[in-house]
Structure formats: C-alpha cells, structure tokens
Amino acid sequence: MAISSKVEEMDAITALKTRRAVRSYTGEPVAREILEDIVDCGRLAASAINIQPWEFVVITDRAMLARVATIADYGKFIAQASACILVLCRDTKYYLEDGSAATQNLLLAARAHGLGSCWVAGDKKPYAETIRELAGAPAGLRLVSLVGLGRTTEKPAPEKRPLADVLHWEKY
C-alpha cells in the first residue's frame, strides 16, 4: 500500500473548529514525516514554568498496536489505527495539565494534516503502568494519554454546547 505523505495543512481555526474524535480509520499508512510533525506540535505545547515533562512514543507496528488495543478498555479501535502516540510525562506538579496540553496539540495537528484521531485515557487508568512498561518507558513516567490516529472517511458530529450557553462576559 502506498504511504501517503501529502502534507495538507489547514489553518488553525478551521482545525480547531472541525476536530472531532475519530475512531475508525482506513488503514492507509501515514508518512513518518507527518507523524514527526504531529509530535513536533505536541512538544511545543504550553507547560507550567516551561518544564516540558513529556516524552512521546510513536507506535506503528501492527502487532504492538493490537496489543495496546487489547489493554486499553475504551481504545479497541487503536488496532485499526495507523499509529498510536503515547504521551508520557515525568511526575511533576502539573504533569497532567502539561500532558493534556500536549495531547490536545497532537489532536489538532493530526486534524490539520487531514487525519482523524482520538484521545484515549491513560492517566488514572489501571492499565497505564502496563502500557508504559510495554512501550519500554522508564518507571516513574506517567502515561497521560494514548492518541490513535489515521486517515479516515468518518465525520462524527457529537453535539456541542452552544457558545451562548458557555460564554459569560465580564461576570457569570
């Protein structure tokens, strides 16, 4: 199967407004340069006192994707993803906020590259340590999230709370 390396970036506002969790993928491989660019966007996220506690493990091996999918209870679709990016953080005071900011950047970068992706829970899950070990990551790193991604034809449209319901000018 040909590896698609087309770099079709969209503007940030469009990526932000059209990103939705995608859990079904075509299986078409994604070029390494695109995966690298997505991680590059992750590592540029904001972090408390710029501590950048993160490490990213990109899994593309099909057998490994299948194993991760078996372990992550709500991440079975990772078995069909082209890649899964693990976001691991050193156990700093704000590791969860920092790792979450990095994770959101991954989702948006994936969208900007025309890919579907989905955040799968890592932190607080009983399987977090199992996946960390499976990935060969050092003890002490916290698995914040797993991001499954790939090309997709799915266009999910979960309902979102309207702007007028959530926006409060000056006072609640």
CB of 125 to ligand FMN, least distance (A): 8
* Amino acid of residue 68: V
Q: How far is the CB of 133 from ligand FMN (least distance, A)?
A: 19
Q: Which is nearer to ligand FMN, 33 or 74 (CB)?
A: 74
DSSP category for residue 78? G
Residue 119: phi, psi to the nearest 5? -75, 125
Q: Give the binding site for ligand FMN (CB under 6 A).
A: 20-21, 23, 74-75, 118-121, 156, 158
Nearest of 120, 94, 121, 119 to residue 104 by alpha carbon? 119
CA distance 38 to 44: 10
Quote the least distance from Cβ 35 to ligand FMN, whole Å: 20
Residue of 127, 25, 42 lying closest to 78 (CA atoms): 25
Cα separation, 56 vs 117, whole angstroms: 16
Q: Which CB, 126 or 170, lies closer to ligand FMN? A: 126
* Nearer residue to ligand FMN within complex by CB, 4 or 54: 54
Cα gap 46→85, rounded to integer Å: 18
Buried b / exposed e over 129-142, threshold 16 CB at 10 Å, is eebbebbebeeebb
